[in-house]
Structures are given as C-alpha cells and as structure tokens.
Homo-oligomer: A and B are copies of this chain.
Amino acid sequence: MTAPAARPVPRTDADPAWLPPEAFRALGSRRVLVCGTGDLTDTVHGEVDAACAEFGGTAVRAAVADHRPYDRPYDLVLRLDGTADGTAGGAEHRADDEAFTLVRERGRTTVSGAGGRGLLHGLFHVVRLGEAAFGADRPPVTHRPALATRMLNHWDNVAVHPVMGQVERGYAGGSLFWRDGRARGDLDRVRAYGRLLAACGINAVCVNNVNVHTTEAHLLTDRIGEVAALADALRPYGIRAHLSVTFAAPLVLGGLGTADPLDASVRAWWAAATARVYAAIPDFGGYVVKADSEGQPGPFAYGRSHADGANLLADALAPHGGTVYWRAFVYNHRQDWRDRTTDRARAAYDHFVPLDGAFRDNAVLQVKHGPVDFQPREPVSPVIGALPRTRIAVEVQATQEYTGQQRHVCALAPMWSEVLGFRPGAGASPTVGELARGGLVAVSNAGDDPYWTGHPLAQANLYAAGRLGARPGADPHAVLDEWIELTFTPDTCPDPERLRAGLRAVLRGSWRTYEKYTAPLGVGFMVQPGHHYGPSADGYEYSPWGTYHFADRDGVGVDRSRATGTGYAGQYAEPWATLYESPATCPDELLLFFHHVPYGHVLHSGTTVVQHIYDTHFEGVAEAAAARDIWTSLAGLMDGARHARVAERYEEQLRGAREWRDHINSYFFRKSGVPDARGRPIH
C-alpha cells in the first residue's frame, strides 16, 4: 500500500478572494495530522501541506486514524471517521457525509469528518476560526449543513447568444466554463473556483444556462464529455456537477416526433440518455429544467402537467441517485398589459400548488424567493410553504441583475436572510430556511473576471450564498464579517479596526441603500427594458411581461388584495393573508406591491407615499455618497488594485444613484404634482 498523496492546491492568477494565503496563517503555523484515505482527504492534505509550507508548520498524513493522539505532538488532527470518502458511489447528497465534529482539549484541536466532505468543511471551519481554533478548550460540537444542497446555477451559454452574450445576466466578464461555442479548457481556474465554493459551503454547480439554446442542448449527449471534464475538476472539492437540459431534448437531440412525458419512447430516450450521462459522470447531481417559461419548451405542449414533466426526468435519474430541479418560474410572458385581472405574481402558486404530492421524491421544485423576479424588494413567494408534500428549493440571485449589476455595491445576505427567516405559517411554524428541503440555489455571479465577480465586493454575495445555504439562520452581518476577515485579513493592515468598521459600513446597509434610490415601496421593475440597468419608470408599464405599477396622476401600486384586486394576497396562509390584505396592516416596504394607493396615503412611518419617495431617493444618494467616501478613506489599508477597482465602480454607482433619484422623483412629481416638502431639486 502506497502512502496517500497530497493533492496540490489549484493555482490561478485570479484574485484569491476569501482564501488568501494569510487566511491560513493560524493553521499553517501548527503541527497538523491528516488521517484517512480518499480523494477529499487528499485535498485536505494538500491544503494543509500548502499552508504549512507557507507559514512554517508541519503536515503529517496517516492512512488510518491515529488512536494514540495524545502521545504525538500535534496541534490539529483532521480525521476522516466515516468509511466512505464521499466522492464515489451514489450521487444523492447526504448531509451526514458533510458533518464534522470539532473539539479542543488538552492543547489539541480535533476535527473528525463523517465523510470526505465533512472533513473538508471542518478544515475550512478551522481556517475561519483562525487563532481562535487554537485557544481555549472547546467542547465537541457537531456541525452539519442545514440544507443538503447548496447549488449555484450558472446562466452561462456555451455559444455567445446574440442578445444575452456568453453569460446571461453576467456582470463578471466571460464564463469560467465556456467560450465562443467551446469548453474553455482552463481547468485550473475551474479547480480554483471549486476550492472557493467549497470554502463557503457550495456543493453543487449547474454548468449551463437554464435557457438551453441549440448548442447547449448537446451537452446532454454528444458533448457530455465537456461536462465530465468540469465535473472532474470540481470533484476534488466536493462539488457535484449538474446540467440544464431542454425539455425538447427527445425532439432536438433524439430525433423523436414528440417530447410527451407520458410517451414510452420519450421515457426510454431519457432513461438511456441519463444512463450515458452517469457512465461519463458517476456522481452527476442531476438536471435543472426551465420548462414552459419565457419561450422554453415544456409539458404544456402535450397537455401534460408539470408533475408529469418533472417526474419523467426524475424517473430517468432515480436509478442513479440523481435529482431533477424543476423551476416553478412559469407565467404568461405574453400578457396583455390592458388586462388587469391577470397577475404574474399569482402564476407559480396557481400552477404548482394543485400538484402538491404528485412529484417524485427525487424531484425538487425550485422556487424563486419572491413571486416575480429577483427585485430588490418582494414578499416571500407564497409557493414556499404551500406544498408540504413537495421538496422545495429556494432560488436566489447572486448575480445582481436587478440590484446594480455588480457596478453598485449591494450585499444581499441581509435580504436573503430575511427571506430564509420568514415563517410562511403562523406562530412558531417553520421558516423558509427549514422548509427548503430541496436546498438553496443561487444564480452565480462569477465569471472570468480577475476578481471573479467584477465588483470585488460582490464576492461577498457568492460567499453568502454558500454560507446561508449551510446555515440559513445565520446572522447575515456575521456572514459578512467572516467574509471580511478572510478576504481582507484586517489584522495584517496598519489599522485593523478602521478597516473592519469601514467594510462593515459599506456592506451592511448597502441593500437598503440600493432599495432607497430605486423603485419605491416594493413596486419593482422600474428598470430599463432588456438589460435592466438603470431607471425607466414606465419601461415595463405597457409591456407583455406582467410587471406593472399602474401609476397615474392620483396614485400608484398594484391592488393584489382579495377584496378588490387580483387576489394574490389570498395565496398566503394566515397571518400573512390578512396582514397583506389591507393597506392599514401591510408593511410599508411592500405597500405598492399589494395595494394601489393615493400619493397622499400616509405610511406607518408617518410620511405620505410621495414624500417617502422623495425622501428615500435623496437619502439613498446621500448614503451611496457616504459609502464612496468611506471607501476612499480605506486606501492604504488593502491591496491597491482592489481598492482602485472598487473606487472606480463607486463613481458609477453614484452617477447611477443620482440618475435613479432624479428619474424616479421627476416621474412622480410630474404625475402627482406634489412638491417636495423640503424643496429639494426635482426636474
């Protein structure tokens, strides 16, 4: 038996993000024993080796657990307890494999992983703790991700789409995986990406856009080898590959005359195609499907339900332990704006709640966190909590399509945390985080940009997506603090507390600031059509997209009450249905999402709707300017290039915030005729 080998840490020229060498100082300056065999243990061994080489510690590897630990001079033992390393065998995620226990006693810290993934998580937990991992004794605590799946959906196209480009809604350069129709082949960068993801808790990646165009369809069949190469690159850090597929695959790839989910030849085609996928990728995670949505094909064409559609793929995946993630984003995107009875917000509930109980166990219904489309403020989707017999995954958008497109700072952890902590039922009923048995899915904001995310501070959103998936109840500010500590290692700079305070100041409130200077009071979608950057109050008002605000000279907002509106409020369980039903009880921040009110309507805050619009828009710009000034003051406390990149983006954010302020304020002033009570300039 040969001694187990350390796997080299992947190298890249890109920004180290939250894994700079300095983050490994505490661990790397210790005497560390790594025990166990298997791929992921080799990875842990490689991490420890690299850290010790950097900071003077020593790394020892043993194939089996050392049962006489206290006889040996180790400060840290990383020990695989389980028999399986976790990368071979069945594909289904098992949270147990991902658990680890940490204890510190008699001067030694011991991390025991239930499986290889658990050991890896334990390693990164020690990294996060830093010196604190080697201080006072710690009683044994077992850590286990709350959600078994923490997935990134990459809206990456293989071929450059004529409108959407290489990455749909991508604001971080090109794709990490694809370029101009081909696999990029830069697998070192992919490995480094997998490492970053593992360190924040992501364990699944879907490698192509949910809008599956012609070229991309072939990834399922003749181009599966390219997916397998990505899966191979991601596997050493415990990340499983998933694939977006087109529901029309039997037609466009299989040459069949139908894609009817109840047709035997279709079922046989999917079974055979899926078997070939598993032959190439034994731990393949499964399929992600956008069907009957914004032009994508689906079961409706055959008069079948979405349960029929999802189960078709679930049955094909089941023998191999795979899962289908079936998106609930189904609505009429050819709506007539004149028709006020149709309400896009209702659509997912109306389509899917009747299907509760009809989905296979390995079918997950992937639901956007809000009922419309990743606006800066939406209520939590009433679908979550309304299908008790269906596994639900909650989808959030790390890529900042509607939240500043990585030109504005908008740390989303506080928003996601609100969603995950929401209780769709009464009293102490489960939170969204507890109901998301199918996992947390984030649309990735990463690309081939040197900083991974275009805006260096947008890394915090990628980081938070993983961490909140593992611990939905975590304090979002604590998650941001973790990211700050790892990424900026403040203790290495001349003024650690000023750097910490500055970073917290520009991140923590950034979502609220963005909300203030954009569409007001939950009304949403006042963005420029197409690219969705910058304001256009009426941009979607007379469109077929179902995203209206109905502003007129008297008032604004969408009546979604049961009594007089679209009835959407009635899709909620109590107490929410009643709370949202009336403007008197509806929270201010969602007022215009649920109600059409006069401009003079007085909010709970005591100001009128129109004055609130003016006030928040002036405040939002002032806050953005203050954040920019704080950022300026942090020069010298961090890497100069990173500081400069952010500084440059702050200028654009401030320009954009002013544009939003003046556009929205002028729009409502021209509509309402109400002057600003404080006499500030409105055009």
Q: Which residues of A does B touch, CB under 8 Å?
A: 337-338, 528-530, 535-539, 542, 551-554, 659, 662-663, 666-667, 669-673, 683
Given B542, B553, B662, which contacts A672 in the complex, CB threshold below 8 Å?
B553
- Is chain A's binding surface mostly helix, strand, loop or mixed? loop
Contacts of A669 in B (CB 8 A): 552
CA distance A161 to B683 in the complex (A): 36
Known: A553-B553, A683-B337. A542 touches B673 (CB 8 A): no
A-B pairs with beta carbons under 8 Å apart, 28 shown: A337-B683, A338-B662, A528-B529, A529-B529, A530-B530, A535-B542, A536-B538, A536-B542, A537-B538, A537-B542, A538-B667, A539-B539, A542-B659, A542-B663, A542-B666, A542-B667, A551-B670, A552-B669, A552-B671, A552-B673, A553-B553, A553-B670, A553-B671, A553-B672, A553-B673, A554-B673, A670-B671, A671-B671
CA distance A338 to B666 in the complex (A): 9
In the complex, the chain B residue whose C-beta lies closest to that of A669 is B552
Among A659, A663, A667, A670, chain B packs the most CB atoms within 10 A around the CB of A670
In the complex, the chain B residue whose C-beta lies closest to that of A340 is B683
Chain B: minimal CB distance from A658 (Å)? 10
How many of these chains are in the complex?
Answer: 2
Among A537, A538, A667, chain B packs the most CB atoms within 10 A around the CB of A538
Chain B: minimal CB distance from A452 (Å)? 26
CA distance A203 to B673 in the complex (A): 55
Contacts of A539 in B (CB 8 A): 536, 539
B535 close to A670 (CB less than 8 A): no
A683 close to B553 (CB less than 8 A): no
In the complex, the chain B residue whose C-beta lies closest to that of A663 is B542
Contacts of A667 in B (CB 8 A): 538, 542
Contacts of A662 in B (CB 8 A): 338, 542
Chain B: minimal CB distance from A41 (Å)? 49
A338 close to B683 (CB less than 8 A): yes
Chain B: minimal CB distance from A544 (Å)? 10
Contacts of A666 in B (CB 8 A): 338, 542
CA distance A374 to B535 in the complex (A): 27
CA distance A662 to B339 in the complex (A): 12
CA distance A213 to B552 in the complex (A): 44
CA distance A683 to B337 in the complex (A): 9
B670 close to A552 (CB less than 8 A): yes
Chain B: minimal CB distance from A526 (Å)? 11
Contacts of A337 in B (CB 8 A): 683
CA distance A683 to B539 in the complex (A): 17
Chain B: minimal CB distance from A159 (Å)? 15
Chain B: minimal CB distance from A508 (Å)? 31
Known: A536-B538, A552-B673, A553-B672; 7 extra A-B contacts, CB below 8 A, are A337-B683, A538-B667, A542-B667, A551-B670, A553-B670, A554-B673, A671-B671
Contacts of A529 in B (CB 8 A): 528-529
Contacts of A338 in B (CB 8 A): 662, 666, 683
Contacts of A537 in B (CB 8 A): 538, 542
CA distance A670 to B599 in the complex (A): 14
CA distance A554 to B537 in the complex (A): 19
In the complex, the chain B residue whose C-beta lies closest to that of A542 is B663
Contacts of A670 in B (CB 8 A): 551-553, 671
Chain B: minimal CB distance from A15 (Å)? 29
Contacts of A535 in B (CB 8 A): 542
| Top-8 shortest CB links A-B | A552-B670, A553-B553, A338-B683, A538-B538, A542-B663, A553-B673, A553-B671, A338-B662
CA distance A281 to B662 in the complex (A): 54
CA distance A385 to B585 in the complex (A): 66
Chain B: minimal CB distance from A567 (Å)? 20
Contacts of A542 in B (CB 8 A): 535-537, 659, 662-663, 666-667
Contacts of A671 in B (CB 8 A): 552-553, 670-671
Contacts of A553 in B (CB 8 A): 553, 670-673
